[in-house]
Amino acid sequence: MKPFPNDRLEAKWCGGDILLQLCANSQESIIYALRDILKYLSGMLHPIWKIDGFLPSRDIDKRQTPINLFGFKDGTGNAPSTDNILMDDLVWITEKQKEPQWCIGGSYQAVRLIRFALEFWDRTPLEDQENNFGRERETGAPIGMKHEMDSPEFENDPHGDRVLFDSHMRRAEPRTTERYSAKLRRRSYSYSLGLTPSGQLDMGLIFVSFQNNLKKGFIDTQKRLNGEPLERYIKPFGGGYYFVLPGIPKEGDILGQALFD
């Protein structure tokens, strides 16, 4: 993963040949699953980094948009997983991408470990926080709108008086004719690693996105975000790009079966 201008990547938190993502409703389940995996793969795989992520329980129970540690909803503009046509266009690799046959049904995954400057953020006035995101903190609605899923109506705000041109939302998703080619499917988590060497809170976001084209998905989106005011409060320090293998189509097959056939 080549660094972007605001990145301060640390080698111990980057890369790896295989990314293993374990998800469960309890931390104990994750711990026992990981121990089993390490037991059976001892001598074949060597872990180089590990980070624990979490979501507020209400996001699981009520399926609300997750709230990050900045206190804002994270993932409002996500491509809906229920739209199979859109998922084929944006997330899943199909014949259209002209990838090797064993890639069909898979996806590219971008992972970014992003440290938040929470002490600085907590001293920032709410109005400035909302202008940074382009959304109201309480509802998640675009500034000037009522509901989270309301359109920001950029066409009625051509000079950026309501939603600033430099806001995270407007840069990430400018709502142009090319908008869907830049969309991706996100599934991010908060993390807490204690304190930094300087005594600051070491907390932030494990950003995860899935797309069938890394350049049109994550990379182009991140390039639009380069230089945004929100960068004063965030510092990416790790992660990488990975390929998610297709699922197991039939009984008796293994993950990545087509790769070995």
Domain ranges for the chain: 48-120+181-247+255-259
Q: Report the DSSP beta bridge partners of residue 241.
A: 110
Q: Which residue has the tokens 């890639």?
A: 103
Q: Report the DSSP beta bridge partners of residue 243.
A: 108
Exposure class string for 27-59: b at 16+ Cβ within 10 A, else e: eeeeeeeeeeeeeeeeeeeeeebeeebebeeeb
The beta strands (E) that lie in 93-177 are given as: 107-116
Q: What CA–CA distance (Å, rounded) separates 49 from 231?
A: 25
Dihedral of the alpha carbons of 104, 105, 108, 113, in degrees to the nearest 10 = -160
Q: Rounded to two decimals, what is the model's pTM?
A: 0.93
Q: What mean pLDDT is reported for the chain?
A: 92
Inter-CA distances, 258 with 97, 210, 229, Å? 17, 21, 45
Confidence at residue 179, expressed as pLDDT on a 0 to 100 scale: 56
Q: Report the DSSP beta bridge partners of residue 239.
A: 14, 112
Residue numbers in the chain where pLDDT is lower than 70: 57-63, 177-182
* Residue-wise pLDDT tens digits, 232-260: 999 999 999 999 999 988 888 888 888 88
Confidence at residue 56, expressed as pLDDT on a 0 to 100 scale: 79
Q: What CA–CA distance (Å, rounded) separates 219 from 110?
A: 9
Q: What CA–CA distance (Å, rounded) separates 181 from 233?
A: 28
Confidence at residue 174, expressed as pLDDT on a 0 to 100 scale: 83
Inter-CA distances, 59 with 11, 21, 73, 218, 223, Å? 32, 19, 11, 24, 29
Q: What CA–CA distance (Å, rounded) separates 68 from 191?
A: 10
Confidence at residue 60, expressed as pLDDT on a 0 to 100 scale: 53
Dihedral of the alpha carbons of 165, 168, 170, 175, in degrees to the nearest 10 = 160
The DSSP element (H or E) to which 222 belongs, if any, is: helix 220-225
How many CB atoms are closer than 10 A to CB 104? Answer: 14
Q: What is the CA radius of gyration of the chain?
A: 19
Structure tokens at 3: 């660094």
Confidence at residue 80, expressed as pLDDT on a 0 to 100 scale: 84
Q: Which residue has the tokens 């790769």?
A: 259
